[in-house]
Amino acid sequence: MSKEKELTGAQKAIGDFAPKLVELTDNVLFGDVWERKELAPRDRSLITVASLIAGGNTEQLGFHLNKARENGLSEEELKEVIIHLAFYAGWPKAMSAIMVAKEVFSKGK
């Protein structure tokens, strides 16, 4: 019996609904862009988290906070990003982001 390949997050979330978006997410975004050597994964995570917060995109933030921790950022560093962005991206965005972070970080303990 052969092992089934584990589904990616995108495949689980939208695979049957938007297969082309899954393909681009898995192959281009995470298979190419995230694997480029010009930036370390830690740096890519920091940029991504900051961009999501600045854009008010909290639906994707939970996943990327976890990925940022996997890539070497501490919870304290990620909280500091949110605090810093409160003044550059806006207080409501930071408050929304810190609530997501609180939920994500509480699950990891």
Kindly list the domain boundaries of the chain, sorted by start residue: 9-38, 40-109
Q: For the chain, give me the number of helices (H) and strands (E)?
A: 6, 0
Selection from 45, 107, 32, 44 nearest residue 78 by Cα: 45
CATH of 40-109, one of 2.60.40.10, 1.20.1290.10, 3.90.550.10, 3.10.20.310: 1.20.1290.10
Residue 14 CA to residue 78 CA, distance in Å, equals 28
Backbone φ and ψ for 86, nearest 5 degrees, come out as -55, -35
pLDDT of residue 85: 98
Q: 23-70, pLDDT tens digit by residue?
A: 999 999 999 999 999 999 999 999 999 999 999 999 999 999 999 999
Going by pLDDT thresholds of 50, 70 and 90, the confidence category of residue 5 is confident
Average pLDDT in the 75-81 region? 98
pTM: 0.88
Taking 50 as the threshold, does the pLDDT of residue 9 lie above it? yes
Q: For residues 49 and 24, give the distance between their C-alpha atoms in angstroms, rounded to a whole number.
A: 20
